[in-house]
Amino acid sequence: MALGLLDSAQLDELQVRLAEGEEMISRYAEAGLRMSEGCSLDQELVEIKQQTQPAMALLKENELILQKENE
């Protein structure tokens, strides 16, 4: 179907469909961005847990020592 052969109603419908397609692409791009940000946050959480693990282990050890002393 050539563009020169489209009537006004067909052009209007084509514009609506084009706008819908652009909206869908925009939503897809936003979802992809949110997913990549989520992955980044997950990785940061893993790194934070790794960094705090020694301190948490020491805290737990101190807590056990205090419990034994209080018995």
Q: From CA 11, how far away is CA 31, in angstroms rounded? A: 30
Q: From CA 63, how far away is CA 1, in angstroms rounded? A: 78
Q: From CA 18, how far away is CA 44, in angstroms rounded? A: 39
For the entire predicted model, the pTM comes to 0.49
Q: What is the pLDDT of residues 6-61, one digit of tens each?
A: 788 888 888 999 999 999 998 888 888 888 887 788 888 888 999 999 888 989 99
Q: From CA 53, how far away is CA 46, in angstroms rounded? A: 11
CA angle 42, 52, 62 (to 5 degrees): 145
Q: Where are the domains of the chain?
A: 8-70
Q: From CA 23, how far away is CA 17, in angstroms rounded? A: 10
